[in-house]
Every structure is written in C-alpha cells, then in structure tokens.
Amino acid sequence: MTASRPPLRRVCVLIPTYNEAASLPGVVARLRTAVPDVDVLVLDDNSPDGTGRLADAIAATDSQVHVMHRPGKAGLGKAYLAGFRWAAERGYDAVVEMDADGSHLPEQLPALLAAAAEADVVIGSRWVPGGAIHHWPATRKALSLAGNLYARTLLGIRVQDATGGYRVYRVDALRQMGLEDVASAGYCFQIDLTLRAVDRGLAVTEVPIDFVERETGQSKMGRPIVVEALRRVTAWGLARRAQQLRSAGSRLRTGEQWHQLAD
C-alpha cells in the first residue's frame, strides 16, 4: 500500500503559451472556477498575437494569476523548467502542467489532485481504461499510440501515456529527479520526466482523462518535435539496454568467481 504524502496546501498551475490569445481567457476562467484555491502561472514565450499582454490584463484583476514573460519561443521543456523553479522558490507544494488550448479540461483537475494524495507524479492519461480522446483524426491517435508503445518497449516502463501533458508533480519529487541536465525541448520532455521519476523510484500514477482537440489556434506538434522524441527515446533505450547487459555480465562474472572459490 502506498503511503500518504503530505497534503498539498499550495498548488500552482503552469500554463505555457505561444499565440493562445483566443483560448487562454476561457481556460483560466474555467480553471479558477473548478479549483478556486490554486494559483496560475502563465509562461508566455513572447507571443506575437499578444497573449502575454492579455495574460497581464487577467492577472491585473486576479491576484492568484501570475505571468512570466520569456524572451522568445524556446520549447515546452524550457518553459516548464522555468515554471518549476519559480514555484519551488515561492514555496508551492505541487505544480500542474496544463495546455492553454482547452485540450486539458480544468474540470478534471480535482481528480488529478486527489490522486496526488498517494503519489509523487500524477499523469492525466488518455490511454488507460476510462480515458478518451475527442475529435482527433485517426492519424494523430495512431501516432500517439505508436509513440507510447515505442517508449514503453524501448525504455521498459509501464506508464501507458508517457507523452501526456496534463500532470501533477510534487515539488519535492521534482527536486529528486535531477532536472539540471534536462535538454528535451518538445513533447519528448514528458517522456524524459516520466523516465526520471520511474528510475528514482517515485510513485507515478495515471488517472483517466478526456482529451479534447483544440478548437482555436494551431497545434504545435510538427515533424521536428516527432524527430526529437524518436531520436532521444532511441538513445535512452539503447543506453538502458547497454547498462542491463553490463550488469548481467558483472553478475555472471561474480557467479563464476564464487564457483571457483567453492571448488
């Protein structure tokens, strides 16, 4: 049985943005209604469409909404790492990763936070029983399923939705995950952090969610992001297999030595 963790008294929802002016106000409003006690940090990468200025206007009327202005588009991973540091410096107990496009339903956040009572990392999962995807073309579903299968097989992890971006991290868990050398920029960042959590023996749980395809704006998923994920997961997987072979060889040599001593 998993031991209960300390209660989450202060939670900050991190929302990276780049050209999300059409969807951000609605997402923030729904979030503040669904979970009134949480704070929000918008991480804007100098959006040309004025998302940053819009976020400032929201923050001016709501003391629980904050904005970090970043100099330019640098990738999802760097935005979240900046948000993790910001939240840790201000004493938050947990952070939430959430997209700004409405694909992650704010109304489902209470279920993720409830699961964090007995977990270090909670992943809102599309691919566990009860999870669902709405309005995705068959090609996107196939790509996500194949990517997660590839990650599970090559990395030897059991998480069904390692690429899922709706998450809760306890800040204490983030401190244990060795984030100083994270280089993943795109959606591969989610696989990277999943692997780090699993390797450090942290409690990772998946909660089924409804993922809804965005109604406004353009998806950030493109060929470079897919290529980065494929390249990095392959490298990580090969490194893990090599380490396993070295460990097996070491055990075999140790066993031979014991036999020789016994003889």
| Per-residue pLDDT tens over the stretch 123-175 | 999 999 999 999 999 999 998 999 999 999 999 999 999 999 999 999 999 99
Burial string for 232-247 (b: 16+ CB within 10 Å, else e) reads bbeebbeebeeeeeee
Instruction: Indicate whether 90 pLDDT > 60.
Output: yes
The residue with greater pLDDT, 199 or 259, is 199
Residue 1, pLDDT score: 39
* Domains recognised in the chain with CATH numbers: 11-262 (3.90.550.10)
Residue 3, pLDDT score: 61
**Exposed, middle or buried by CB within 10 Å (0-12, 13-18, 19+), for 92?**
buried
Structure tokens of 90? 């201000």
Confidence category of residue 83, pLDDT binned at 50, 70, 90: very high
Task: Please report, rounded to a whole number, the percentage of residues in the chain having pLDDT higher than 90.
Answer: 76
The answer to whether residues 207 and 132 touch, using CB atoms and an 8 Å cutoff, is no
Instruction: Indicate whether 213 pLDDT > 50.
Output: yes
Question: Lowest mean pLDDT: which of 17-21, 156-160, 241-245?
Answer: 241-245
Confidence category of residue 74, pLDDT binned at 50, 70, 90: confident
Could you tell me the CA-to-CA distances from 131 to 124, 194, 208, 235 in Å, in that order? 8, 19, 4, 30
pTM of the model: 0.89
Could you tell me the CA-to-CA distances from 56 to 43, 65, 154 in Å, in that order? 11, 9, 43
The residue with greater pLDDT, 196 or 216, is 196
Residue 257, pLDDT score: 55
| Per-residue pLDDT tens over the stretch 29-67 | 999 999 999 999 999 999 999 999 999 999 999 999 999
Instruction: Give the residue-averaged pLDDT of 242-261.
Output: 62
The residue with greater pLDDT, 181 or 183, is 181
Average pLDDT over the chain reads 90
Structure tokens of 213? 């395809």
For residues 107 and 209, what is the distance between their CA atoms, to the nearest angstrom? 10
Instruction: Give the residue-averaged pLDDT of 63-78.
Output: 95
